[in-house]
């Protein structure tokens, strides 16, 4: 129920922004559109602060980090490759016929800005920690503001039946299958986690605010910490994929983003892939956000 409530909030803010467009003063809209391109970096700073605080609150961070990075990398690559192969099988080609120097430079600039934002957030959090200053940043409320801004922007974008295209469903399907294959790959690397637990951890799809809590409650705090960090790293890898090759393989990058495609990584989808792929991100993120708590809970309870 909690995950459905969170999804409702996101969709409500998106819808509210869409409805408010052309009904609010033009001066306010202009300010909103000026803020929108930079809001990505505000979110990245907030994510980095949250990441730093998480590191300080877990036991044996080295082992947990190693396990979570491995699972996050294999599942992210699995989702990316699976989506690429699915769309290639039905005749889809990469978005660009060749590598454009302008797009490549733009991608490198975007990812450098992203890393700067992450470094700033992490540095601020570490500084606050060293001075024992209570630093509280709500990434969730920032997301709600961003969804409102996206709604305003979508009102001026051409919306068509592409939102209802059945092929969009291949994006979350690829994430599910690719994540399972990634768990199998991780099994041959990690010897301290069972296959059953790896499959469970792979099905969080980046929904870290849910999986860490569920796994801790139904399994144990060690696996709960891995679940949390794994989904945080999946988010970071999704951001990297989005900026580096999202312009060429947008659907695959969105698939690797998992549940975060409709919230945290949506700004990157807009920035790196363009407005045409926002439907893919919203539909895929929604489906995976609904599935994640159900699948993780069932697998954790076995």
Model pLDDT for residues 144-170, shown as the tens digit of each residue: 887 788 778 777 765 556 666 778 899
Q: Give the integer Cα–Cα distance in Å for 70 and 195.
A: 14
The answer to whether 147 and 13 have CB atoms below 8 angstroms apart is yes
Q: Give the integer Cα–Cα distance in Å for 188 and 172.
A: 25
pLDDT of 187 reads 95
pLDDT band of 77, cuts 50, 70, 90? very high
Give pLDDT tens digits for 176-195: 999 999 999 999 999 889 99
Averaged pLDDT, 8-33 = 82
pLDDT of 108 reads 63
pLDDT of 97 reads 45
- Max mean pLDDT among 32-46, 104-118, 121-135 falls in 121-135
Task: Please name the helix (run of DSSP H) or strand (run of DSSP E) that holds residue 181, with its range, or none.
Answer: helix 170-187
Give pLDDT tens digits for 269-299: 877 787 788 888 888 888 887 788 778 888 8
The answer to whether 276 and 124 have CB atoms below 8 angstroms apart is no
Averaged pLDDT, 111-118 = 77
Taking alpha carbons only, the member of 44, 40, 76 closest to residue 241 is 76
Averaged pLDDT, 102-116 = 67
pLDDT of 144 reads 80
Helices (H) and strands (E) in the chain, counts: 12, 0
**Alpha carbon separation from 78 to 62, 83, 114, 178, 218 (Å, rounded):** 24, 8, 23, 4, 26
Give pLDDT tens digits for 84-102: 999 888 877 666 544 455 6
pLDDT of 197 reads 93
Q: Give the integer Cα–Cα distance in Å for 254 and 79.
A: 9
Give pLDDT tens digits for 219-277: 877 787 788 788 888 888 888 888 888 878 899 999 999 988 877 777 778 777 877 88
Helix axes 221-245, 195-202, angle to 10 degrees: 50
pLDDT of 101 reads 59
């Amino acid at each position: 129920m909690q995950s459905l409530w969170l999804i409702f909030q996101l969709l409500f803010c998106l819808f509210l922004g869409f409805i408010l467009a052309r009904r609010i003063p033009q001066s306010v809209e202009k300010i909103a559109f000026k803020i929108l391109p930079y809001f990505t970096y505000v979110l990245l700073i907030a994510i980095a602060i949250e990441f730093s605080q998480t590191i300080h609150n877990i036991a044996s961070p080295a082992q947990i980090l190693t396990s979570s990075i491995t699972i996050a990398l294999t599942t992210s690559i699995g989702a990316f490759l699976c989506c690429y192969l699915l769309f290639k099988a039905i005749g889809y080609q990469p978005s660009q016929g060749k590598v454009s120097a302008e797009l490549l430079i733009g991608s490198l600039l975007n990812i450098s800005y992203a890393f700067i934002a992450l470094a700033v957030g992490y540095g601020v959090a570490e500084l606050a920690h060293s001075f024992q200053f209570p630093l509280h940043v709500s990434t969730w409320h920032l997301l709600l503001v961003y969804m409102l801004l996206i709604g305003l922007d979508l009102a001026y974008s051409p919306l068509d039946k592409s939102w209802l295209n059945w092929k969009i469903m291949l994006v979350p399907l690829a994430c599910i299958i690719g994540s399972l294959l990634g768990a199998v790959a991780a099994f041959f690397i990690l010897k301290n986690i069972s296959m059953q637990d790896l499959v469970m951890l792979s099905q969080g799809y980046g929904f870290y605010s849910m999986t860490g809590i569920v796994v801790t409650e139904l399994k144990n705090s060690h696996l709960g910490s891995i679940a949390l960090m794994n989904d945080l790293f999946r988010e970071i890898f999704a951001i990297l994929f989005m900026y580096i090759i999202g312009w060429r393989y947008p659907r695959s990058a969105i698939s690797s983003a998992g549940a975060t495609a409709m919230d945290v990584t949506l700004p990157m989808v807009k920035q790196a892939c363009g407005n045409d792929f926002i439907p893919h991100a919203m539909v895929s993120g929604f489906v995976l956000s609904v599935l994640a708590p159900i699948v993780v809970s069932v697998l954790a309870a076995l």
